[in-house]
Structure 1
Amino acid sequence: MATDPGVGRRAKYLTMLLLVVGSGLVLLAATQTWFTIRLSDTANHSSTIEVAGSVAAPALTALALAGLALTAALAIAGPVFRIVLALLGVLLGVSVLISAITAVSDAVRASASAITTATGVAGNASIRHLVHSVETQLWPWLAMVAGALIILAAAAAVVFSRLWPGPSRKYQTRFAGEDGRPAEEVVAEASEEGAVPADAAADETADDTPDGTSTLDRDTAIDSWDELTRGDDPTR
């Protein structure tokens, strides 16, 4: 049964949108404050330290950029590579979830580098002794939601990518057939079946012949460039 091309096109665009939104939310969350650390009164340093997501979960920025790049690649990929890229998208979303969950599960350890920078105190036990309380902001939870969104969008790409329309013709230079055959074979087969007149088929292949019009057009273009180089106007 034939599938409505509009359905596949809408599924593709919706998947692309979800991947972009998910990756964008991860990138946004990584730039915001995740934890507010309050130090004990015995510390002779700043009593409050704000820890950004890029410090608590350093991998998030790279994962978000990878998600955006993967979305662009999916938009032009063929049927086989769509599946491969979509599976990579699932792994990417899982990595976002793991990074965010790991940071939230032990905020002190995730904030250790920021605390050491602010106080000069190092060592897990010493840092934990300094920390009086930890306040978790909204942003790590948003990163988890974004990671789940990336996973769902990538999984949808795996399931429904067979319905997606093929890549645009502008990405194909020498191949006209969807099965990858050269343009000459497609035109020849069509002319044999009567779908394309023989003289039209000849016109399609004439451009590739040494004495075709395309050769003359290239020679004319080269001459025009030479005239411009000499300072002459080729339009006169």
Structure 2
Amino acid sequence: MNGRRVKYSTMLLLLVGSALALLAATQPWFAIQLTDTANHASTITVAGSVAAPALTALALAGLALTAALAIAGPVFRIVLALLGVLLGVSVLVSAITAVSDAVGASSAAITTATGVAGDASVRRLVHSVTIEFWPWLAIVAAVLILLASAAVVVFSRSWPGPSRKYQTRFAGEDGRPVDEVFADATEDGPEPSDDAEARAAAEEDAEDSADDTPDHSGTLDRDTAIDSWDELSRGDDPTR
């Protein structure tokens, strides 16, 4: 029961971290106020999917990783945990990079709104930057993903095995293939009883007697045909 609780707690932590990262990617991260000389909108709101374009894909990968961990075996579980660590680091780097250079992360949105391109030109248009709550939430989500992945590595041996409905190649409790289990069952099965041997002998005798019995049906049919032909030759009707 303890191992099952650890498994579900770890998966829940990874699920929450991935869901928070996905939520953060859909929310506004920065409010960019442009200079008065820019004859365009004074304030531009930059969403997380623009400031950190890879965040949405990383969050969806985290959700898929959670589903895979639910049915993974011990070895594959470690591989998924290492992928989870890489995933958490990627989310963390994406969020920190965007926060550390909000203008650079927002340059695509600024260019779309103003038509001004080039890093230096875009930076001259920016008067101030307001960082919202959501990029910090993305950083928290990255930490949760890292903690969950590390917990998988540490506590993986105490997890219960996957459900039997996923074990299509194994039939025994010890993981042996189906053919070996059936082979052992056949070898250890009960010897045929005397009644079964008697029935088998009786069936063989019946077949032998059937083979020895002469077949008179063909001879009778031939004689009848000859008699009918003789009657027709004499001008008699054999059907009367």
Both structures adopt the same fold (TM-score exceeding 0.5): yes
Equivalent residue of 1:177, what SS? Answer: coil
Instruction: Tell me whether 1:40 sits opposite 2:35 in the alignment.
Output: yes
The normalised TM-score by structure 1 is 0.77
1:22 and 1:190, CA in 2 relative to 1: closer, same or farther beyond 3 A? farther
| Percent of matched pairs sharing the same residue | 79
* Deviation of 1:174 (Å): 3.2
SS at match of 1:156: helix
Output aligned runs, 1:192-211, within 5 Å.
198=189
- Structure 1 residue ranges, 4+ long, deviating more than 6 angstroms after superposition: none
Does residue 15 of the first structure (1) align with residue 40 of the second (2)?
no
Provide Cα deviations, 1:42-74, integer angstroms capped at 9, x if missing partner. 000000000000000000000000000011111
- Partner amino acid for 2:31? T
Matched, 1:58 2:58: no
SS of residue matched to 2:172: coil
Q: Which blocks of at least 5 consecutive residues in structure 2 are unaligned?
A: 191-240
State the shift of 1:191 in Å: 9.0
Q: Which has the larger radius of gyration?
A: 2
Tell me the secondary structure at the aligned position of residue 46 of structure 2.
Answer: strand
Counterparts of 1:92-111 in structure 2, within 5 Å, are: 92-111=87-106
Query: Quick one: which of 64, 69, 73 aligns to 1:74?
Result: 69
Once the two structures are superposed, the pairs formed by residues 154-165 of structure 1 within 5 Å of their partners are 154-165=149-160
Looking at structure 1, the residues matched to 41 and 174 of structure 2 have their Cα atoms a distance apart, in angstroms, of 66
Q: Which residue of 2 aligns with 1:139?
A: 134
Structure 1 residue runs without a partner (length 5+):
1-5, 200-236
Post-superposition shift, 1:176? Answer: 1.7
CA apart distance, 1:190: 7.7
2:31 partner SS: strand
1:16 Cα offset (Å): 0.7
**RMSD of the TM alignment (CA)?**
1.7
* Structure-1 separation of matches of 2:186 and 2:158: 29
Provide the C-alpha distance between the structure 1 equivalents of 2:68 and 2:91, rounded to a whole number of angstroms.
Answer: 19
> Using the alignment, how far apart are the partners of 1:68 and 1:38 within structure 2?
35
1:109 to 1:179, Cα distance in 2 relative to 1, 3 A: farther
